[in-house]
Structures are given as structure tokens and as C-alpha cells.
Amino acid sequence: LADVHAAKQASLSGVVLGVLTDQGQVDKDQLKALIHQAQGMGVTFHRAIDQCIDPMATLDILMSLGCERVLTSGLKANAYDGREMLKEMVTYCGERLSIMA
């Protein structure tokens, strides 16, 4: 929260966040607090999604909380190997969330 606050005070245009529980799920409460702190800034969720046990449910959470984009390699070591999942994610999110390989 302090880092997001500092980024906002520095007039940065956005932050990149990623918070997971030990069980490989998004820590929704912590992410919600971070996004609230980042109000007025762009929010990107980083490759933590590649470690989630249910990436599509994670996309739903990210979209519901107002993330702009997610960085991912399609759950693989690199984007080329994850290209099929990347296509699936893009289709699933449509215009609601940008997928950035």
C-alpha cells in the first residue's frame, strides 16, 4: 500500500500488482485494497496469474475489481508455448481486460 501511495505521489500513470495466497489464488481483499489505493492510476496484474490454480476465475476477479490489463505467458514459461491459452484468455476477456503477452 505504501508503494502504491508513493507511486501516486510521484504522479506515475500506473502500477503493476500481483498478490496470491499460499493456495495459488488471488488475495482478493489485498488486491481490492491496493486497487483502491491506486484510484486514478492504471492497474496491471502481473504474471502471478501464471501461478494461479484457476486462471479464468482469476480473470473474473481482475475484471470485477477494475484492472486494465494482465501480463501473462499463457501459463507457460514463455508466450510462444502459451499461445493457445493466450488466445483463450483474449477471447474470454473481450474488451473488459487487455491480455499482454
Domain range enclosing 6: 2-100
The length of the chain in residues reads 101
Q: In this predicted model, what pLDDT tens digit does every residue of 19-74 receive, in sequence order?
A: 999 999 999 999 999 999 999 999 999 999 999 999 999 999 999 999 999 999 99
pTM of the model: 0.92
Query: Which CATH number covers residue 75?
Result: 3.20.20.380
Range 77-84, long-range pairs (CB < 8 A, 24+ positions)? 82/50
User: What's the confidence (pLDDT) of residue 40?
Assistant: 94
Confidence band of 6 (pLDDT split at 50, 70, 90): very high
**Cα Rg for the chain, rounded, in angstroms?**
13
Q: Which residues contact residue 86 at a Cβ distance below 8 angstroms, ignoring those fewer than 6 apart?
A: 72, 73, 74, 79, 99, 101
Q: In this predicted model, what pLDDT tens digit does every residue of 86-97 receive, in sequence order?
A: 999 999 999 999
Taking the C-alpha atoms of residue 33 and residue 60, their distance in angstroms, rounded to an integer, is: 17
Q: Are strands 42-45 and 69-71 parallel, antiparallel or unpaired?
A: parallel
Confidence band of 18 (pLDDT split at 50, 70, 90): very high
Taking the C-alpha atoms of residue 86 and residue 6, their distance in angstroms, rounded to an integer, is: 32
Q: What total number of domains does the chain contain?
A: 1
